[in-house]
């Protein structure tokens, strides 16, 4: 799977995207645990960041698999 970081998530992770290989099925909780292990600075964003799987917002019970594109979408403010 490929993880794409947007806005604040990109800044805190220090990268725009990265490959991730976890044995399927991957729950949202398992995905977050791996992402936080790699990028602890993302912790403050977790409560307010949405996950998207292949362009669709993921629900808490969504399972992620190899080949998925996962986006971290934190809140965005406009001006």
Average pLDDT over residues 16-20: 97
Instruction: Note whether 63 and 24 are within 8 A (CB).
Output: yes
Dihedral over Cα of 6, 8, 11, 13: its sign: negative
Nearest-5° angle of CA 30, CA 36, CA 42?
130
Return d(Cα 42, Cα 75) in angstroms, integer.
13
| Phi, psi torsion values for 53, nearest 5 degrees | -115, 115
pTM score: 0.89
pLDDT, greater one: 70 or 23 = 70
- Classify 2-73 by CATH class: alpha beta
Report the percent of the chain where pLDDT is more than 90: 82
Tens-digit pLDDT profile for residues 45-71: 999 999 999 999 999 899 999 999 999
Domain boundaries, given as residue ranges, for the chain: 2-73
């Amino acid at each position: 799977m490929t993880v794409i970081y947007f806005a604040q998530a990109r800044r805190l992770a220090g990268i725009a995207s990265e490959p991730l290989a976890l044995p399927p099925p991957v729950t949202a909780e398992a995905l977050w645990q791996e992402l936080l292990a790699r990028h602890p600075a993302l912790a403050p964003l977790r409560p307010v960041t949405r996950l998207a799987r292949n362009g669709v917002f993921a629900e808490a019970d969504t399972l992620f698999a190899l080949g998925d594109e996962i986006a971290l979408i934190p809140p965005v403010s406009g001006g």
